[in-house]
Structure 1
């Protein structure tokens, strides 16, 4: 799956399922009331935003990107060199 195909999936649940099926977990971080999990999808990255306010851990947002700027919150604690 490429970035365009991923972004054309309209349902948040379907995007999350694509991440679970095809993604490689890299790291997670806290951002306010959200736990944000980063996955490598082969030729792009995906973030899954999970609310820590809800006891069911509901997914609030799933986004895909290639931007290095969006990786900055993760870069200091992990080594991405093994992915390329």
Structure 2
């Protein structure tokens, strides 16, 4: 348990950041789920639109420190190739 004023403040900040990061991660997962559903439906226009809306959210996750840069790059690349494969 935190005893000093500094450690108490850090504990409060940690709780706040945890909530913010949890909400941000949930939002990213929602966008990813929309892309997955569009891909599963086979509608390329919807999948492309969903991917375009998901990409800024993923990038924002990187800048805010919620996700690793390479993880997001890998996810975007794989989703883009799957969306592209629908057309063929």
Bigger fraction of residues in helix? 2
Higher relative contact order by CA 8 Å / sep ≥ 6: 1 or 2?
2
Bigger fraction of residues in strand? 1
TM-score (norm 2): 0.27
Q: Which protein is bigger by CA-based radius of gyration?
A: 2
